[in-house]
Amino acid sequence: MSWPLLAAAVAFALVNGANTGATLLAATHTLDSVGHGLGLVLLGVGVVVGPLLVGTGVAARFAQEMVPWGGEASESGMLVAVVVSLVVVLGLTRMGIPTGLTLAFVGALAGFGAASGAGVAWHSVLVVLGMMALAPVLGGLIAAAVITVLARRMHSRHVSRALGRVHAVSFPALALGYGASDGQKMLAISAVALGLTGSGAGGGAVPAPLMLMLALGVLFALGSAAGYRRMSLRLGQGVLPVRPLYAVTSEVATAGALLGSAGVGAPVGVAQTLTGSLVGAGASQGLSRVRWPQVSTIVTAWLVTLPVTFGLSAAVAGGLRAGGAL
Give how far Cα 224 sits from Cα of 27, 185, 229, 237, Å.
12, 16, 9, 19
- Residue type present at position 29: H
- Residue type present at position 229: R
For residues 164-175, average pLDDT: 92
SS3 of 82-129: HHHHHHHHHHHHHCCCCCCHHHHHHHHHHHHHHHHCCCCCHHHHHHHH
Whether residue 297 has pLDDT greater than 80:
yes
How far apart CA 267 and CA 283 sit, in angstroms, is 26
Give how far Cα 150 sits from Cα of 138, 213, 228, Å.
18, 36, 28
pTM: 0.92
Question: Quick one: DSSP state of residue 206?
Answer: P
What is the share, in percent, of the chain residues with pLDDT greater than 70?
A: 94
Specify the pLDDT at position 201: 47
Q: Which of 107-121, 157-171, 207-221, 308-322 has the lowest mean pLDDT?
A: 157-171
pLDDT tens per residue across span 39-71: 999 999 999 999 999 999 999 999 888 877 777
- Residue type present at position 177: G
Question: Quick one: DSSP state of residue 291?
Answer: -
Specify the pLDDT at position 207: 94
Nearest to 36 by CA among 227, 186, 173: 227
pLDDT tens per residue across span 67-97: 777 777 889 999 999 999 999 999 988 877 7
- Say if CB 174 and CB 24 are below 8 A apart: yes
pLDDT tens per residue across span 106-147: 999 999 999 998 888 899 999 999 999 999 999 999 999 988
The top-scoring range by mean pLDDT among 190-204, 224-238, 261-275 is 261-275
Exposure string of 68-79, with b = 16+ CB inside 10 Å and e = fewer, is bbbeebbbbbbb
Q: How many residues does the chain have?
A: 326
Q: Which of 56-60, 100-104, 239-243, 317-321 has the lowest mean pLDDT?
A: 239-243
